[in-house]
């Protein structure tokens, strides 16, 4: 199987690079310089019409969207490596739920916060930025409660779900999300970020 990751350092492709490293999946990396517009070249748009990284090709067939790639990696490689729950188990249901929670529920609030706080012109709105921050705080409280009875998202063992969710929360903390106000989330995130696969310029 030939796997190619089209990526750029310190971008949305970083969680996929970390997942590939965590899973020990052999792959080729092709750097797409998003600062100079390489993602808008016709040959790249043929792989990902959105013109964004990450993009992954599997035996030449492309897929895009960080969450979709990570879920595929979990199913294809994670189960056999003990880093993703098998299909038909309660843990698989939880893994799918928390990964979607990170990118959809929490991710929506994060996007609103970013646009209202960092956007230009009419997009910048201090009131909406605070509302989004409050929504993120409430969601972090939900995760904090979940972690009250377990060390990792799915129980006693680390999984790719921790990497997926931790990548989103780590980015949000960098943007000012109140992760530190939730001790269990903060401690869990520190454990996730200490994984060797999360280190370095990925």
pLDDT-above-70 percentage for the chain: 99
Q: Which of 61-65, 118-122, 180-184, 193-197 has the lowest mean pLDDT?
A: 118-122
Q: How confident is the model over 49-105, as pLDDT tens digits?
A: 999 999 999 999 999 999 999 999 999 999 999 999 999 999 999 999 999 999 999
CATH number (domain holding residue 33) = 3.40.30.10
Q: Are 96 and 179 contained in the same domain?
A: yes
| Cβ neighbours, 10 Å, residue 108 | 14
pLDDT at 158: 98
Mean pLDDT of the 14-27 span: 96
| Residue 85 lies inside a defined structural domain of this protein | no
Residue 161 lies in domain: 90-198
Q: What's the pLDDT at 118?
A: 86
Per-residue pLDDT, 161? 98
Query: What does the pLDDT read at residue 120?
Result: 82
Residue 122 — pLDDT band, cuts 50, 70, 90? confident
Residue 173 sits in a domain whose CATH number is: 1.20.1050.10
- In this prediction, residue 177 carries a pLDDT of 95
The per-residue pLDDT for 201 is 61
Give yes or no: residues 104 and 61 share one domain.
no
Distances (CA, A) of 175 to 27, 111, 114, 179: 31, 11, 8, 10
pLDDT on residue 123: 85
In a domain, 83, yes or no: no
Sign, CA dihedral 58-63-69-72, equals negative
Residue 202 has pLDDT above 80, yes or no: no
- Residue 102 DSSP symbol: I
Same domain, 125 and 73: no
Residue 96 within any structural domain of the chain: yes
Q: Provide the pLDDT confidence category of residue 200 given band limits of 50, 70 and 90.
A: low
Q: Could you tell me if 111 and 73 lie in one domain? A: no
Tell me the per-residue pLDDT of 28-40, one tens digit each, with 9 for 90 and over.
999 999 999 999 9
Q: Based on the domain organization, do 95 and 157 belong to the same domain?
A: yes
Q: What is the chain's mean pLDDT, rounded?
A: 95
Answer yes or no: pTM beyond 0.75. yes
Of 177, 160, 165, 168, give the one whose Cα is nearest residue 73.
160
């Amino acid at each position: 199987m030939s796997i190619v990751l089209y990526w750029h350092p310190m971008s949305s492709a970083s969680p996929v690079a970390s997942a590939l490293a965590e899973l020990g999946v052999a792959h080729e990396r092709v750097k797409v310089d998003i600062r100079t517009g390489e993602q808008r070249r016709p040959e790249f748009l043929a792989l990902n019409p959105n013109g964004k990284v990450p993009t992954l090709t599997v035996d030449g067939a492309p897929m895009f969207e960080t969450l979709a790639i990570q879920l595929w990696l979990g199913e294809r490689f994670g189960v056999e490596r003990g880093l993703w729950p098998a299909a038909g188990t309660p843990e698989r249901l939880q893994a799918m739920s928390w990964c979607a929670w990170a990118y959809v529920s929490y991710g929506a609030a994060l996007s609103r916060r970013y646009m209202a706080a960092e956007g230009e012109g009419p997009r910048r709105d201090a009131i909406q930025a605070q509302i989004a921050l409050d929504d993120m705080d409430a969601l972090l409280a939900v995760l904090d409660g979940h972690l009250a009875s377990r060390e990792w998202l799915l129980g006693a063992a680390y999984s790719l779900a921790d990497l997926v969710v931790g990548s989103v929360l780590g980015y949000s903390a960098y943007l000012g999300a109140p992760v530190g106000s939730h001790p269990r989330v903060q401690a869990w995130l520190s454990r996730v970020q200490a994984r060797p696969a999360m280190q370095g310029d990925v």
